[in-house]
Chains A and B, each alone.
Chain A
């Protein structure tokens, strides 16, 4: 079964550093997403991406965040200057269409900001 893959599985960084989280969505999918889950809290939507542009973003997704699909297979989330409160599990997801919107998730990247 096709899978969404995320790397790294765990990223430790110092506050103020830039991090890039990587995802390889399922190959025939057109819609891509990032979510995050702070420990003990709900899974929260960050951003969706379609046709090489952001289609929707949440209030969490401020100017410190950016997404990119640099080469037609990878989908990246960049955090420019990490804060302690960015520590969370970050999930990438992809879906084939918008009507049913069945989203398939990666295993996540645990980001620890020290």
Chain B
């Protein structure tokens, strides 16, 4: 069975600080990985995705994530956050041989203080 865990439930930081959110997945086969963001009152929006190839993927709004297969990790990073990055961030996996559902982590609420 697939599972995704996110290490931090809440993160508070100041503008211009760097952000790194941890995500670990468990799945033995080929996996697609995603980070979604949910701004207050809005829908889940895709930040970035990994299918194969270069393990460092770049997404929208200056976010990037690195897939480390040996660690089953897909951590999200942003070098310098803005107040507008205040949101909840979800890591999700899709195991291609395990149906077509996404398995989500518990989410991390990020609060960026101006």
By a beta-carbon cutoff of 8 Å, the part of chain A in contact with chain B is 3-4, 31, 33, 35, 41-45, 48, 50, 55-56, 58, 91, 93, 95, 98-108
Q: Which residues of A contact B28 (CB under 8 A)?
A: none
10 pairs of A and B residues whose beta carbons are closest in the complex: A105-B44, A45-B101, A107-B43, A43-B104, A56-B99, A101-B94, A42-B106, A105-B43, A98-B100, A42-B104
Q: Which residues of A contact B106 (CB under 8 A)?
A: 41-42
**Shortest distance between the CB of A62 and any CB in chain B (Å):** 17
Highest count of chain B CB atoms <10 Å: which of A4, A45, A56, A106: A45
**Shortest distance between the CB of B92 and any CB in chain A (Å):** 8
Partner of A56, one of B41, B49, B101: B101
B2: nearest chain-A partner, CB-CB:
A45
Q: How many inter-chain residue pairs (CB < 8 Å) link A and B?
A: 60
Determine whether B46 belongs to the interface, using a CB cutoff of 8 Å to chain A: yes
Is B46 a contact partner of A104 (Cβ separation < 8 A)?
Answer: yes
> A42-B106, A91-B44 are contacts. A105–B36 as well, Cβ < 8 Å?
yes
By a beta-carbon cutoff of 8 Å, the part of chain B in contact with chain A is 32, 34, 36, 41-46, 49, 51, 90, 92, 94, 96, 99-107
12 additional A-B pairs beyond A91-B44, A95-B100, A100-B49, beta carbons within 8 Å, are A3-B43, A33-B101, A42-B104, A43-B44, A45-B101, A56-B99, A93-B102, A100-B32, A101-B32, A104-B46, A105-B43, A105-B44
Q: Which residues of B contact A44 (CB under 8 A)?
A: 104
Is B96 a contact partner of A99 (Cβ separation < 8 A)?
Answer: yes
**Shortest distance between the CB of A58 and any CB in chain B (Å):** 8
Is B101 a contact partner of A102 (Cβ separation < 8 A)?
Answer: no
**Shortest distance between the CB of A70 and any CB in chain B (Å):** 22
A98: nearest chain-B partner, CB-CB:
B100
B102: nearest chain-A partner, CB-CB:
A103
B9: nearest chain-A partner, CB-CB:
A40
